[in-house]
A and B are shown apart, each in its own frame.
Chain A
Amino acid sequence: MRDCNGGRRRKEEGFCVESWQMEAEKYQMDLGNLMASDPTHHFESVPSSRFVTVILRPGSCSQGVSPGKFRLSEEELTRACLEKGTELVQAIANAVFALPSTDDRDGPIVRLPPPTTTLPREKHLLKPKPPTKWELFAKMKGIKKRKKDKRVFDEQTGTWKRRHGYDRVNDDKDIPIIEAKLSDGNEPGEDPFSKRKAEKKQRVEKQEKNRLQNLKQAAKAGALPSHVQLAATALPITGTHGEAPKKASKEELQNVAGMAATATASGGKFDKKLPGEKPAKHAGKYRKFLPVVEGKGMSSQEKQQTAKILDQLMSKSSHGMLDVNKAVTMFNVKKEKQRRKEKEHETSSAAIKLKPKKKSLKKSSKKKH
């Protein structure tokens, strides 16, 4: 077994108490990080072939092994490293086990000292928040914060109500009647309830604006609270036209997607339907043709179609859009036809034979030849 440190033997059975104390002084230990480093050990190496010459410094060397150069192979190198590592770890363990420990059900628990090696932080330190406008004002005026109760006594109903929230004290909507007074602020015809609502809305808007200003100041100082983010809603205005691009609604987007799909389909490329996409509201066809074969019942589509058109026309015509001349001629023609029919009927019944023979023009043409 190799000795360490000026001839004190490290036996298999136990430790010499002083030896590990001396080791502790030799190594640099950071108990908080459970780290030990040995700055005195020196390896002098020769390139990457893993044959390393080790020079043992005379001070740290043991008795019985003379200082000199050793050529170590890979395994021996690892073994030497592990040995050194073991020593260091033993030194840390000695120090750690020596700390006062409390017994827990999982094992002894030891309070480690804070680490001595300073490592850089991950994020910046918190900067103090700049005081808000109200805080500055309150400080100037000497106004102190007063703790408010959650429950407040309401005189009107005579019960304890909460200060904020459902069924609260001094709620605007609880007022049933407002007297109509003719003072400078009130016009005679104005609704006082809506006026109160408008005032409240204004107050809330003002408060929001102030809050935004306070947060902007905090952001400038780098002390924005962790859960708040300030986001730009519109691009900064450059030039005279500062129109923010209108955000497309859901329906618009769906329509546009459908139109784009139709356009590309007409070019021959058919888009795949995504899993969440709903089918197009309006199918491709815009004209409805009647079926070729259909029954002749009451509900036949052709009949319905024609009836519909007729109704439309008739309803249109019933508003007085008549062609008077045409109507008159039609009426006259109809009457003439009727008279002629009546005449024929009369004469035909009386003497059919007395009628002169009608000369056919065709016969005369024949006679000439």
Chain B
Amino acid sequence: MTPTHFTISSAFLLGMMGLAFHRTHLLSALLCLEAMMLALFIALSLWSLQLDATGCSTAPMLMLAFSACEASAGLALLVATARTHGTGHMQALNLLQC
């Protein structure tokens, strides 16, 4: 695969691994989520540049808009968790654990 392809895929994968193997803080999971979104954004931007396909030029903007919404939702959940559970640690969210 091309270096660009490899870079983007590995950035995405690293972000996903950070999300999956999070240790304590919810915020770190959200940051990794943002990193995934960033990798995807760069991928979409390079898509239209590398392939000279001007038809999908707007895709990165849309992507960014949705990622912003999702990030704000995630931060709101973080704040709500901090309010109700006192901490932002993941082990506080154990209400459904048997």
Partners in one complex: no
